[in-house]
Every structure is written in C-alpha cells, then in structure tokens.
C-alpha cells in the first residue's frame, strides 16, 4: 500500500518552481521538499488547500493511493 505525491508532476505541467510554490503556499522549502519527495507522514488540510489553490488543482491530483506494494 502506498500513497503517492505528484507535486513534481504538477509543477512541471504548470512550469512553476518549488521556490515559487513555497512562497505562494507559505511553507518552507525544506517542508515542501519533504512533502514532494513522499517523506512526509502527514499534511494539514490548510496546507493541502493552499497547494491546490496555488496549482489550480484538486487534492486527488496531488495525492493518489495504490494497494500495490512500495518499491
């Protein structure tokens, strides 16, 4: 079972840098990097909402769940 984070894909599609997203959302580059790399253990709904607003997307575009084993 795995939860995948697709921020990097959305950033590339929107030609936005991690720095720009960090500034728009109001979280540190370090915390955004942890989230982007799938190392985060949790995310606040307020942070998720801010990311969705900045990237003009839905939560399901950022986070997906798979029952397949992690590799």
pLDDT digits (tens, 9 = 90+) for 9-59: 999 999 999 999 999 999 999 999 999 998 999 999 999 999 999 999 999
For 1-71, where are the alpha helices, taking DSSP H only?
Answer: 7-13, 18-25, 29-36, 45-55, 59-62
Q: Give me the mean pLDDT over the 2-14 stretch.
A: 95
Dist CA 59 CA 27 (whole Å): 17
User: Is 67's pLDDT higher than 90?
Assistant: no
Residue 71: per-residue pLDDT: 53
Residue 18: per-residue pLDDT: 94
Residue 11: per-residue pLDDT: 97
Tokens at residue 35, please? 């989230």
Q: Report the topology of domain 2-66.
A: 434 Repressor (Amino-terminal Domain) (1.10.260)
């Amino acid at each position: 079972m795995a939860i995948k984070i697709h921020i990097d894909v959305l950033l590339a599609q929107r030609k936005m840098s991690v720095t720009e997203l960090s500034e728009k959302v109001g979280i540190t580059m370090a915390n955004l990097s942890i989230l982007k790399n799938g190392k985060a253990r949790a995310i606040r709904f307020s942070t998720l909402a801010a990311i969705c607003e900045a990237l003009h997307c839905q939560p399901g575009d950022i986070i997906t769940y798979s029952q397949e084993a992690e590799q």
